[in-house]
C-alpha cells in the first residue's frame, strides 16, 4: 500500500527534475496496471473522484432539465442549463451534439429525461463516459455541482493504464500527494486483486518526463 509520504517524495523528485517554465504546469498521475484481461474479466473503471484540493481547473457542468430543478442548477452555478426543447433541437444536428459533449466535463439531468438524453446524446456521451448523473428532485443538487467542480473522471478505456490531473504548481507537495492518493485509492478499490493489479505509478508535470515508483507485488 502506498503512503502519503511516498507520494510527497515522488512530487519532490518530479519538481527537482523539472525545467522551470513560463506558465503554471499541471501534475499528471499515471497508474500502470497488470494481470488484467479486459476481454475475459468484467473490469470496467469509469470513476468520478473528488479531489481534496482544487486541481487548478474548474470543470464545466451542463444540467439537462427544466422547472425547479433547472432553477436550482442555475443558482448552483452550472455553466449551462439545457432545457428539453433545446435538447430536441440537437436530434438533427450531430455537429452541435458532438460539440456539446466535448465542451462539458460533467452532465447532470432530471431522471425523467434520461431516456431522451440517451436517445439524442447517448452516442456522443457514452464513448467518453459522460452519460449524465441523474439528479432526483429531493437530492442535494448544489452539493453534486460542488463535488463535480473539483473532480476528475478516470477511465481504463480497455488499456492497462489510467491517468488523471491531480493539481498544478500552485499547490503544495502535500496537497498534490493527497490528491494523487485519492485517485490511487479509488482505482485500487475497483481492481479485481487490488494493489496486486498495480505495476507502477508515474507522476509528471505538463512538460516534464514521468518519474516512476514501483508499487504492489513485484513480479
Q: Hey, what's the cell of 189?
A: 478499490
| Residue pLDDT, tens place only, 99-131 | 999 999 999 999 999 999 999 999 999 988 899
Domain 4-56+152-214 classified CATH 3.30.190.20?
yes
pLDDT digits (tens, 9 = 90+) for 21-30: 889 899 999 9
Structure confidence at residue 219 (pLDDT): 45
- C-alpha grid cell, residue 42: 468484467
Residues 6+ apart with CB under 8 A from 157: none
Residue 51: pLDDT over 50: yes
CB 168 within 8 A of CB 24: yes
CATH architecture classification, 61-148:
3-Layer(aba) Sandwich (3.40)
What is the value of pTM for the model shown? 0.84
- For residue 164, which phi and psi values (nearest 5 degrees)? -160, 145
46 burial type by CB count under 10 A (0-12 exposed, 13-18 middle, 19+ buried): middle
- Count of H-run helices and E-run strands, the chain: 7, 10
Amino acid at each position: 500500500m502506498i503512503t502519503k509520504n511516498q507520494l510527497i517524495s515522488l512530487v519532490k523528485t518530479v519538481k527537482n527534475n523539472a525545467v522551470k517554465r513560463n506558465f503554471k504546469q499541471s501534475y499528471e498521475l499515471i497508474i500502470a496496471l497488470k494481470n488484467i484481461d479486459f476481454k475475459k474479466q468484467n473490469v470496467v473503471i469509469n470513476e468520478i473522484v473528488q479531489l481534496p484540493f482544487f486541481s487548478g481547473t474548474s470543470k464545466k457542468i451542463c444540467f439537462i432539465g427544466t422547472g425547479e430543478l433547472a432553477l436550482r442548477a442555475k443558482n448552483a452555478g452550472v455553466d449551462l442549463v439545457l432545457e428539453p426543447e433545446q435538447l430536441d433541437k440537437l436530434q438533427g444536428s450531430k455537429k452541435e451534439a458532438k460539440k456539446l459533449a466535448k465542451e462539458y466535463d460533467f452532465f447532470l439531468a432530471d431522471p425523467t429525461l434520461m431516456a431522451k438524453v440517451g436517445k439524442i446524446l447517448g452516442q456522443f456521451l457514452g464513448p467518453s463516459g459522460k452519460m449524465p448523473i441523474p439528479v432526483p428532485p429531493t437530492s442535494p443538487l448544489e452539493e453534486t455541482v460542488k463535488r463535480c467542480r473539483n473532480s476528475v473522471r478516470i477511465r481504463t478505456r480497455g488499456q492497462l493504464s489510467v491517468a488523471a490531473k491531480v493539481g498544478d504548481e500552485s499547490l503544495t507537495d502535500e496537497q498534490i500527494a493527497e490528491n494523487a492518493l485519492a485517485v490511487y485509492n479509488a482505482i485500487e478499490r475497483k481492481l479485481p486483486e487490488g494493489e496486486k493489479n498495480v505495476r507502477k505509478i508515474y507522476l509528471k508535470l505538463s512538460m516534464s518526463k514521468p518519474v516512476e515508483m514501483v508499487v504492489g507485488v513485484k513480479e
